[in-house]
Structure 1
Amino acid sequence: MIWEIEDKKDEIEGLDADGRPDPAYAAALGLLPAPFGRRALALVCDVIAWMLVQLPLWIGAVPLLLKLADGSISAYGFVNHPGFVLAVVMAAVTTFLTLVLSVLQLVMHGRSGRTIGKGITGIRTVDVRTLERPGVGRVLLRYLMFCASGILPLIGPVLLLVSPTFDPERRGRGLHDTATRVWLVDVRQGLNPYDDKRLRVARKLVKAEPTRGRTTLPSLATPTDPAQQPAYRPGTRVSAGVIGIARPHAPEDRPEIGLAQAVPPTLPAAAELGKPVFGGYRPAGERPADPVPGAGAPEPQPAQPQPAQPQHLALHLDTGESIPVTVPLLFGRNPDPAGYPTARPVPLEDESKSLSKTHLLVSPADGGLEITDCGSTNGSGLARAGMEYVIEAGVPVMTVEGDTIRFGDRSAVVVRV
């Protein structure tokens, strides 16, 4: 028997139908091409770092080599010169430092997308298809192409350096960038692709296409005109028993919500079989005897009003757990109640680290719950009537039964208990 194992390849997001990287997708994530001025400054910084490690050679060995070159001393005098040992040591130091700097620059560039110059100027190099680290191999090939351009003195390096200005995609990719499939991005003004959390959130936002900015929520006030439909009706239970959001409809096409009207059972049919009554059983069809005055029959008492059972709202988390909100609650990975002394911390598990340490404050209020984003990293949102609204940090927002609250990658539904 031959077993066939299908290789599961990871799907790369942001590619067009031809498998090429889509510039519009990268722009939607917030990635910006590195400016030419800062790219030139990064190159200057790298050249300065390379020149610094050459100082031992220039100070200790080059003067003696110049004397040998202009004939001031012979080869025999060069070897027996008092400064010959110092010149050899300085040349060895320069060779060692140059090797260490070259390896360090290649590894840093391939693993973290930056060199010394790129780190100073806020530039990172990424794989243009996956938006991940380019790898040491591609960085080395890119460097060798730059060195090979020197075969045509002056013309080759200049042509390679100005080629990013002719990029048809307007992403500043030169000939050596296109050949090695890399892209230089600006992490000062745009998204840092090496920040895994922010890149993951940006990809989710691009997929979900949420409503940008703060949108006016529908009014919860009752309209003054009886014939006018309310702008929003709280969520209710549908026939499947699932919390849903009820949307206003016209009078002629209003849907049936809830269980169908039940038909009351016919009690006479059940009475024919004989049912227990106060004081014993009676045969079917027999009329009960009238109570005899003074025979100990209890007099009817007036019905006592039953105390109303208090109803509270709760958060039904995406894990299936329901948390009643009777006091202010502080949600997060490890909430710190120092800034909210009246709130009770509620730590939540979050393997993806999308929740902040102190993320969301939920407080009971008249007619609903009041939620406040505590300046979280990934923000919070409110889903109502099929629309999602961004919650501004520090601004309390009123929620009602049926609303869905999103905080990080977690979510919760406001329900009544």
Structure 2
Amino acid sequence: MSYGDPNNPYGQQPPQGQPGYGQAPGQPGYGYPQQAPQGVPQQGYGYPQQPASPYGAYPQQPGGGYGYQGGGPTVASMGRRFGARVIDGVAFGIIYGILLAIGIAGLVGAASDCDPNSVTYDSCMNDAGSDVMATMGASLGAFAVVGLLYEWLMTALVGGTLGKLAVGIRVINADTGQKPGVGAAFVRYIIPILGSLACGIGALLVYLSPFWDKTGRQQGWHDKAAKTMVVQRSNN
């Protein structure tokens, strides 16, 4: 039958260039999608394309931020994190022990210069002790500054201290998957330090707080404040 037969609702398609059924002239017809003009990229169907993730197949989680399952990095276990702290603690303990040994040796050396039979022996020992304590204080102050710069800058620029790198974990920005940056790394470092002012109990609670995280990321209070998380390093 020909197009336009009133007894045939399923008639042939109208000739090319003519409007379809119920279609105003100049409007695109229904059915298959219209081809985009030459030189204009054609959009695909479905959901809009997402930008490439820094970890490849790294699924987005509800509420924003990168996930930690599937193709993304694996959340670091508390055992690895504890191992990293032990390694860093041993390294700093060795340095602290060396400084302490130097101070004791200096005190012994200064005391040997004092004559026990002299009337000035007591004042000589006091002066020697004061000199050694001043030297020790300066050394420990420098040691504390080095410790600050070590953990702060290593985390900011490399993603972790030598202890973390040794056990195969690193700190990342929880939203981007990149290194935390100087500001976030400082926040992450300073919160346990402030907690240690309460007889060390605050710092201990901060380091244990990942056990109470219900998100599955094992973020401690210092991680949440800095918007960071600790993951296993990629082999790539």
Query: Which TM-score bucket, shorter chain as reference?
Result: 0.5 to 0.7
Match of 2:21 in 1: none
2:152–2:189: 8 Å Cα contact kept in structure 1?
no
Match of 1:47 in 2: 89
Report deviation, 1:161.
Answer: 2.2
1:167–1:173: 8 Å Cα contact kept in structure 2?
yes
Partner Cα distance (2:226, 2:167) in 1: 22
Partner Cα distance (2:133, 2:201) in 1: 35
Against the structure 1 CA distance between its residues 98 and 161, is the aligned structure 2 distance closer, same or farther, given a 3 Å change threshold?
closer
Match of 1:171 in 2: 217
- Alignment match of 2:126 (pick from 78, 81, 86): 78
Report deviation, 1:150.
Answer: 2.2
Against the structure 1 CA distance between its residues 60 and 109, is the aligned structure 2 distance closer, same or farther, given a 3 Å change threshold?
same
Report deviation, 1:103.
Answer: 1.8
Partner Cα distance (1:40, 1:12) in 2: 33
Letter paired with 1:48: V
Report deviation, 1:84.
Answer: 6.8
Partner Cα distance (2:101, 2:225) in 1: 39
Q: What per-residue deviation string (whole Å, max 9, x for no partner) do you get for residues 323-367 of structure 1?
A: xxxxxxxxxxxxxxxxxxxxxxxxxxxxxxxxxxxxxxxxxxxxx
Partner Cα distance (2:95, 2:125) in 1: 28
Partner Cα distance (2:132, 2:103) in 1: 7
Against the structure 1 CA distance between its residues 99 and 74, is the aligned structure 2 distance closer, same or farther, given a 3 Å change threshold?
farther
Partner Cα distance (1:168, 1:36) in 2: 14
Matched, 1:21 2:59: no
Partner Cα distance (2:152, 2:209) in 1: 23
Matched, 1:134 2:176: no
Partner Cα distance (2:203, 2:147) in 1: 22
Match of 1:162 in 2: 208
RCO comparison, higher one (Cα < 8 Å, 6+):
2
Against the structure 1 CA distance between its residues 94 and 146, is the aligned structure 2 distance closer, same or farther, given a 3 Å change threshold?
closer
Partner Cα distance (1:115, 1:183) in 2: 14
Letter paired with 1:39: R
Match of 1:105 in 2: 151
Letter paired with 2:71: L
Match of 1:288 in 2: none
Letter paired with 1:115: T
2:151–2:189: 8 Å Cα contact kept in structure 1?
no
1:127–1:133: 8 Å Cα contact kept in structure 2?
yes
Partner Cα distance (1:171, 1:12) in 2: 22
Report deviation, 1:133.
Answer: 0.4
1:107–1:136: 8 Å Cα contact kept in structure 2?
yes
Partner Cα distance (2:208, 2:197) in 1: 17
2:156–2:181: 8 Å Cα contact kept in structure 1?
yes
Identical-pair percentage: 25
Match of 2:7 in 1: none
Q: Give ranges in structure 2 of 5+ residues lacking alignment.
A: 1-50, 54-58, 112-120
- Alignment match of 1:144 (pick from 175, 187, 190): 190
Partner Cα distance (2:101, 2:75) in 1: 40
Structure 2 SS opposite 1:114: coil
1:24-39 equivalence runs, <5 A: 26-39=68-81
Q: What per-residue deviation string (whole Å, max 9, x for no partner) do you get for residues 183-239 of structure 1?
A: 10012xxx35xx5xxxxxxxxxxxxxxxxxxxxxxxxxxxxxxxxxxxxxxxxxxxx
Match of 2:227 in 1: 181
Q: Greater helix percent: which structure?
A: 2
Structure 2 SS opposite 1:142: helix
Match of 1:58 in 2: 100
Report deviation, 1:151.
Answer: 3.8
Letter paired with 2:168: G
Against the structure 1 CA distance between its residues 138 and 89, is the aligned structure 2 distance closer, same or farther, given a 3 Å change threshold?
same
TM-score, scaled relative to structure 2: 0.60
1:125–1:134: 8 Å Cα contact kept in structure 2?
yes
Structure 2 SS opposite 1:27: coil
Q: Greater strand percent: which structure?
A: 1
Q: What per-residue deviation string (whole Å, max 9, x for no partner) do you get for residues 294-322 of structure 1?
A: xxxxxxxxxxxxxxxxxxxxxxxxxxxxx
Partner Cα distance (1:89, 1:132) in 2: 41
Q: What per-residue deviation string (whole Å, max 9, x for no partner) do you get for residues 21-70 of structure 1?
A: 242xx3122311111111111111112222222224311325749xx9xx
Against the structure 1 CA distance between its residues 56 and 93, is the aligned structure 2 distance closer, same or farther, given a 3 Å change threshold?
farther
Partner Cα distance (1:109, 1:163) in 2: 19
